[in-house]
């Protein structure tokens, strides 16, 4: 614990939904729900307008639609969210070299390390300046918590939501925490919270009164001691600028359970390739390959295989994942598959051989240059195709709600919805007035998918939440 509230926690408000509202002028002030749109889709985040209807993250999208039937349900656009996040993180690094990102929209900052604040008034001024800078540059709002520890700074930012700032003066922690729910504390999830409730412990003050010995008896020594310290507001964890990645993984949940063993193998191979793309993009290799299978009854199995050395070879990862799949019973159907790599290193076994030989080994498997989004299949056309009479019809293009498009005549826009061979597009962009809506055939040659238009640099468009 510090004697001054110089640890800052920033949490952007309803980040994904707010970015969508800022980049789509017709959605400002409206209920926006971002997440998977399939039958098994899950809400990633919801705007505050949608939250008034009871919609929240991790809720099934089908339930969110029932609660908020007039809300705009959109697919996530992670490339745009990362772009905006990079700008926000750059603003944080102007405050201090010690910035600990937790996700795209959340981070801790050590204000003392940056020399910008050593007491309460200085910390408050830095926090207010940060919020103003974020609004000016991105048009978005963020909530700021300031305290003498990371745990309390995070609690403060949650209490400050939305678009606020709360500073917890050292010495006032126990008074502030006492009436709060035990779920406020990190690590107290639904199961632990329910276990404590049954023992009559519902607030942080109740935890303090119960005492460390009783908590150890209830939830075990490690958890009980930590829980009691947090209830007292004690937390000595430093802000850590760099977090080493421990694993890289990808997974897909399928709209309909997979039963065909050949299809399941194909999906595992595709996931292995996507995982390697992420692995290489992070500059790592890995030694342990992990397969995750969630079956029709929600039971989840994980299998792993440790290689002799770290690798980033897609063929090696594919083969290991295929071997792991052979040992899994998929009878009854599979609803989720995942492939991951752990035991990360910044070199590969092949690199070690190359260092001794002065070059990379020849004749091994190679990977084609991938320029499409992760998950897209690379297709090589054959040199010659015999005509087969009537040409095969082109597959119908799919247009997901919220995706970016560009029309040869009307310019940039986004998909409001599609079905029955038609796609409805609203033509607008960041900084513009709400645009007009037009409907086209799904195969209209003048309508094409597009990359998101940049949000930053369009001026402080007011985004709700």
Q: Known catalytic residues?
A: 106
Q: Count other Cβ atoms within 10 Å, centred on residue 258.
A: 18
Cα separation, 275 vs 320, whole angstroms: 13
| CA geometry: angle 423, 429, 432, nearest 5 deg | 125
C-alpha separations of 364 from 186, 269, 285, 323, 361 in Å: 48, 19, 17, 20, 7
3-state helix/strand/coil string of the chain = CCCCCCEEEEEECCHHHHHHHHHCHHHCCCCEEEECCCCCCEEEEECHHHHCCCCCCCCEHHHHHHHCCCCEEECCCHHHHHHHHHHHHHHHHHHCCCEEEEECCEEEEECCCCCCCCCHHHHHHHHHHHHHHHHHHHCCCEEEEEECCHHHHHHHHHHHCCCCEEECCCCCHHHHHCCCEHHHCCCCCHHHHHHHHHCCCCEHHHHHHHHHHHHHHHHCHHHHHHHHHHHCCCCCCCCCCCCCCCEEEEEEEEEEEECCHHHHHHHHHHHHHHHHHHHHHCCCEEEEEEEEEEECCCCEEEEEEEEEEEECCHHHHHHHHHHHHHCCCCCCCEEEEEEEEEEEECCCHHHHHHHHHCCCCCCCCCCCCCCCCCCCCCCCCCCCCCCCCCCCCCCCCCCCCCCEEEECCCEEEEEEEEECCEEEEEECCCCCCCCEEEEEECCCCCEEECCCCCCCCCCCCCCCC
Return the axis-axis angle of helices 204-219 and 221-231, rounded to nearest 10°: 170
Q: Count other Cβ atoms within 10 Å, centred on residue 195.
A: 14
């Amino acid at each position: 614990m510090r004697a001054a509230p110089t640890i800052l926690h920033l949490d952007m408000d309803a980040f994904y939904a707010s970015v969508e509202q800022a980049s789509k002028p017709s959605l400002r002030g409206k209920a926006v729900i971002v997440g998977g749109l399939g039958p098994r889709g899950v809400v990633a985040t919801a705007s505050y307008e949608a939250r008034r209807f009871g919609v929240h993250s991790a809720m099934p999208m089908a339930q969110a639609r029932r609660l908020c039937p007039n809300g705009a349900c959109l697919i996530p656009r992670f490339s745009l969210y990362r772009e905006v996040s990079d700008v926000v993180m750059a603003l944080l690094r102007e405050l201090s070299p010690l910035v600990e990102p937790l996700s795209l929209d959340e981070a801790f900052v050590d204000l003392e390390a940056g020399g910008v604040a050593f007491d309460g008034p200085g910390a408050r001024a830095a926090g207010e300046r940060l919020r103003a800078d974020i609004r000016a540059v991105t048009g978005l709002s963020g909530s700021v918590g300031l305290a003498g520890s990371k745990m309390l700074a995070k609690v403060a930012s949650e209490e400050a939501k939305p678009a606020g700032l709360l500073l917890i003066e050292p010495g006032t922690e126990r008074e502030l925490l006492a009436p709060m729910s035990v779920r406020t504390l990190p690590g107290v999830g639904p199961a632990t919270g329910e276990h404590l409730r049954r023992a009559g412990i519902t607030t942080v003050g109740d935890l303090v009164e119960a005492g460390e010995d009783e908590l150890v008896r209830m939830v075990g020594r490690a958890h009980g001691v930590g829980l009691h310290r947090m209830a007292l507001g004690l937390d000595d964890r430093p802000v850590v600028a760099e977090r080493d990645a421990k694993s890289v993984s990808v997974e897909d949940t399928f709209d309909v359970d997979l039963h065909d063993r050949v299809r399941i193998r194909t999906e595992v191979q595709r996931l292995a390739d996507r995982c390697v793309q992420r692995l290489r993009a992070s500059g790592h290799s890995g030694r342990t390959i992990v397969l995750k299978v969630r079956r029709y009854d929600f039971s989840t199995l994980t299998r792993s295989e440790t290689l002799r050395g770290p690798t980033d070879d897609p063929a090696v990862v594919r083969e290991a994942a295929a071997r792991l799949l052979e040992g899994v019973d998929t009878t009854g159907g599979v609803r989720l598959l995942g492939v991951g790599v752990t035991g990360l290193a910044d070199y590969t076994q092949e690199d070690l051989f190359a260092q001794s030989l002065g070059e990379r080994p020849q004749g091994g498997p190679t990977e084609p240059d991938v320029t499409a989004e992760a998950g897209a299949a690379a297709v090589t056309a054959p040199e010659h195709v015999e005509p087969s009479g009537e040409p095969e019809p082109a597959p119908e293009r799919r247009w997901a709600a919220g995706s970016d498009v560009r029309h040869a005549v009307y310019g940039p826009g986004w998909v409001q919805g599609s079905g029955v061979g038609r796609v409805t597009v609203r033509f607008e962009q960041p900084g513009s007035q709400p645009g007009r809506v037009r409907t086209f055939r799904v195969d209209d040659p003048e309508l094409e998918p597009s990359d998101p238009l940049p949000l930053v640099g369009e001026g402080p468009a007011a985004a709700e939440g």
